């Protein structure tokens, strides 16, 4: 149970309990004992008569006061250096490698209990550091101003976010420019920083090589951490008492200095969301001719997109409608114009195909790039959707088409070429169109949406993981906090979902339905991120309160393949959008993710509110369905919080 109490809940007449969290394990000297080195207990922030304190006590000591831990003076006068100091855990956790014994500060006496219980006055807190044992679990290590690191604390059930928010009432946490896991503590009146815990991005991972490291070794690389932080001053690692010169509040709007790290972002947490609305799905689009005028133009493309988003497309119409959704045919083209487009696109395709087909073996021996593409494509084609009859068996013509289309795409897009995963995107297109040329141009349309996923820098994938983290921070901060406590807060296990749009998570037939829904780009372009959030929320009962570590979480996510119900996930994703869109105080960063806010530019002639009309009818349909099932229970909330309008 996690508690945050202002004045109520006092321990005594003079001691007020401000924060309490159960399931916080203290790790003793792991290097000196083969016994169980974890002790379950409680962590608290207690307001005493003259000083607030951070306290931990073992579960067995409940009902008694925690022992006092006294700390050396900051100046270290008269201290004797202890060169044999061993904190008992990973050496890089400690802020210093030696400590000095010194005269203790005088604090009110506190009754001693267990060997490991402690009470640390917040005025004596010098730093906190997030660290890991070799097992990969996250820990917080607090260090006093005398240089003493306390035993590491593992938040077995999450709660680090809540603790640090509570600490903000008394101290300011300043990030180190050198070590992304280290934060120094300063009193509020020091003028060092005014940014909150959320503004410092303590639990976002924005390191430049985040995704590339995951690709190299997804099981060994852990992403949770304090790497996305803002460098506000260079003296964060200086000894206690050293002078530093932070930017004062009066300089906040002035030009940044050379020491300021660019790209500072303000992200707030603790969003109060209204109730999650009920969402219903519709029937597949099963009529096409009635949407065409006498010359073959689509009369109402928006209506088509809304119907497809709500229920997908009946299989017999997919071949026709997909070519519009993927840009092969313009919505306003006539039948005659489409015949001309097909003729032109066919000629263009075969001109590109001849280019690689006509390369001799001798030429290819001197073209390592083409040779590498061919080798990679042949390997991927041989294992793509072989369970599907269209691609099964040896010498299957479907495999030949798959290979030829991918090789031709290398000629079409020299800069990108072929990247693993693209065969997964092409296979359903080839299956539905049953045509080499049409599947190629549908692939180019699909790649226009997702090509950044396959770029070598992986910046787009990193950005999407951060955006998903933002969504989870707003939708389910408790779940994100738990995942973060298990070194999974970066959500790197969602990488495959986002890379190839859940291709491996659902059945082949479900993927056909899912992709056509996503191609509508309703209700926003990042609906696939809302899908990922919906899946994560569906697993919160499996995670919270469990003993899953990073590898176990990754294993569980991978084992969800073919076990998810697509319609349930789609309903949850749309409900997530509506719930966020209803929030009046939704952070701008989250609004940007779901398309509710577009940063203004000098060339804009319209406001964000008038930007698009693409989903108004869609939301009206959802609202009507939701009202029937939730009107009685949510009438008060609905009156206080108006329904959003889609962009």
Every domain of the chain and the residues it spans: 16-187, 322-448
Helix axes 422-433, 436-450, angle to 10 degrees: 140
Spatial separation of the C-alpha atoms in residues 113 and 58, rounded to whole Å: 9
- DSSP β-bridge partners for residue 104: 72
Classified by CATH at the fold level, domain 322-448 comes out as Helicase, Ruva Protein; domain 3 (1.10.8)
- 3-class state of residue 334 by DSSP: coil
Helix axes 335-357, 397-412, angle to 10 degrees: 90
Using an 8 Å Cβ cutoff, are 95 and 114 in contact? no
CA atoms within 13 A on the CB side of 331: 12
- 3-class state of residue 142 by DSSP: strand
- 484 C-beta neighbours (distance < 10 Å), count: 29
Spatial separation of the C-alpha atoms in residues 380 and 372, rounded to whole Å: 12
Using an 8 Å Cβ cutoff, are 131 and 152 in contact? yes
Spatial separation of the C-alpha atoms in residues 448 and 525, rounded to whole Å: 13
Spatial separation of the C-alpha atoms in residues 644 and 207, rounded to whole Å: 35
Using an 8 Å Cβ cutoff, are 192 and 106 in contact? no
What are the phi and psi torsion angles at 141 (to 5°)? -120, 120
In the 8-state DSSP scheme, what is residue 68?
P
Distances (CA, A) of 71 to 50, 75, 113, 410: 17, 12, 18, 65
Distances (CA, A) of 607 to 88, 89, 98, 599: 59, 56, 60, 10
What are the phi and psi torsion angles at 453 (to 5°)? -60, -25
* pLDDT given at position 180: 64
Q: Is the peptide bond before 523 cis (omega within 30 degrees of 0)?
A: yes
* pLDDT given at position 102: 37
Classified by CATH at the fold level, domain 16-187 comes out as PH-domain like (2.30.29)
State both tokens at 473: 């921070």
* pLDDT given at position 432: 97
- 3-class state of residue 536 by DSSP: helix
Q: Among 254, 234, 231, 232, which Cα is nearest to 243's? A: 234
* pLDDT given at position 599: 74
Spatial separation of the C-alpha atoms in residues 492 and 486, rounded to whole Å: 12
Distances (CA, A) of 643 to 135, 313, 530, 582: 46, 28, 19, 6
**pLDDT averaged over consecutive 10-residue blocks of the chain (647 residues)?**
40 71 77 60 84 86 43 34 31 27 36 66 86 56 82 81 84 73 72 38 40 38 30 32 38 36 38 89 95 96 97 96 97 97 97 95 91 93 92 89 97 92 96 97 97 89 95 94 88 94 96 98 97 96 88 92 96 96 92 87 47 45 47 40 39
Spatial separation of the C-alpha atoms in residues 39 and 27, rounded to whole Å: 6
The stretches of 106-216 forming alpha helices (DSSP H) are 160-167, 210-216
Task: Output the pTM of the full model.
Answer: 0.58
């Amino acid at each position: 149970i996690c508690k945050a109490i202002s004045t109520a809940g006092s321990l005594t007449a003079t001691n007020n309990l401000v924060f309490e969290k159960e399931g916080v394990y203290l790790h003793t000297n792991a290097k000196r004992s083969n016994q169980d080195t974890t002790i379950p207990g409680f962590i608290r922030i207690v307001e005493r008569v003259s000083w607030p304190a951070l306290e931990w006590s073992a579960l067995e000591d409940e009902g008694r006061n925690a022992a006092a831990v006294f700390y050396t003076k900051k100046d270290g006068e008269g201290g004797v250096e202890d060169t044999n100091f061993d904190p008992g855990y990973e050496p890089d956790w400690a802020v210093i490698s030696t400590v000095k014994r010194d005269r203790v500060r005088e604090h009110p006496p506190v009754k001693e209990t267990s060997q490991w219980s402690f009470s640390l006055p917040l005025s004596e807190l010098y730093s906190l550091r997030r660290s890991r044992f070799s097992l990969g679990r996250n820990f917080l290590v607090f260090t006093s101003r005398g240089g003493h690191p306390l035993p590491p604390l593992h938040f077995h059930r999450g709660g680090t976010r809540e603790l640090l928010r509570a600490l903000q009432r008394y101290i300011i946490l300043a990030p180190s420019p050198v070590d992304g896991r280290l934060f120094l503590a300063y009193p509020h009146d020091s003028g060092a920083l005014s940014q909150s815990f959320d503004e410092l991005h303590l639990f976002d991972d924005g390191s430049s090589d985040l995704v590339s490291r995951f690709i190299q070794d997804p099981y060994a690389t852990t992403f949770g951490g304090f790497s996305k932080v803002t460098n506000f001053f260079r003296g964060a690692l200086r000894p206690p008492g050293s002078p530093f010169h932070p930017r004062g509040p009066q300089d906040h709007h002035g030009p940044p200095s050379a020491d300021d790290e660019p790209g500072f972002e303000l992200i707030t947490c603790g969003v109060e969301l209204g109730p999650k609305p009920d969402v219903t799905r519709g029937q597949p689009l099963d009529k096409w001719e009635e949407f065409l005028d006498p010359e073959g133009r689509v009369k109402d493309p928006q209506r088509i997109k809304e119907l497809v988003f709500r229920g997908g497309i009946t299989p017999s119409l997919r071949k026709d409608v997909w070519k519009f959704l993927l840009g092969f045919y313009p919505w306003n083209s006539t039948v005659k114009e489409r015949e001309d487009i097909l003729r032109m696109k066919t000629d263009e395709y075969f001109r590109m195909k001849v280019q690689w087909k006509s390369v001799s073996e001798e030429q290819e021996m001197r073209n390592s790039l083409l040779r590498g593409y061919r080798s990679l494509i042949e390997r991927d084609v041989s294992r793509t959707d072989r369970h599907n009859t269209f691609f099964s068996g040896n010498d299957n013509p479907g495999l030949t088409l798959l290979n030829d289309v991918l090789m031709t795409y290398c000629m079409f897009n020299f800069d990108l070429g072929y990247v693993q995963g693209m065969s997964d995107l092409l296979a359903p297109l080839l299956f539905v169109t049953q045509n080499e040329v049409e599947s190629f141009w549908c692939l180019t349309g699909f790649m226009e949406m997702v090509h950044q996923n396959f770029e070598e820098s992986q910046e787009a994938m990193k950005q999407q993981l951060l955006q998903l983290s933002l969504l989870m921070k707003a939708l389910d901060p408790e779940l994100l906090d738990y995942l973060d406590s298990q070194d999974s807060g970066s959500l790197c296990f969602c990488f495959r979902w986002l890379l190839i749009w859940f291709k491996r998570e659902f059945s082949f037939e479900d993927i056909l339905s899912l992709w056509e829904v996503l191609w509508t780009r309703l209700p926003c372009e990042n609906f696939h991120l809302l899908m990922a959030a919906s899946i994560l929320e569906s697993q919160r009962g499996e995670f919270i309160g469990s003993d899953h570590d990073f590898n176990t979480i990754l294993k569980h996510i991978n084992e969800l393949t073919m076990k998810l119900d697509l319609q349930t996930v789609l309903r949850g994703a749309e409900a997530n959008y509506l719930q966020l869109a209803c929030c009046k105080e939704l952070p701008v960063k989250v609004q940007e993710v779901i398309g509710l806010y577009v940063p203004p530019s000098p060339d804009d002639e319209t406001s964000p509110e008038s930007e698009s009309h693409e989903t108004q009818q869609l939301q009206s349909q959802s609202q009507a369905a939701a009202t029937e099932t939730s009107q009685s229970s949510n009438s008060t909330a609905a009156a206080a919080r108006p329904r959003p309008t889609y962009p």
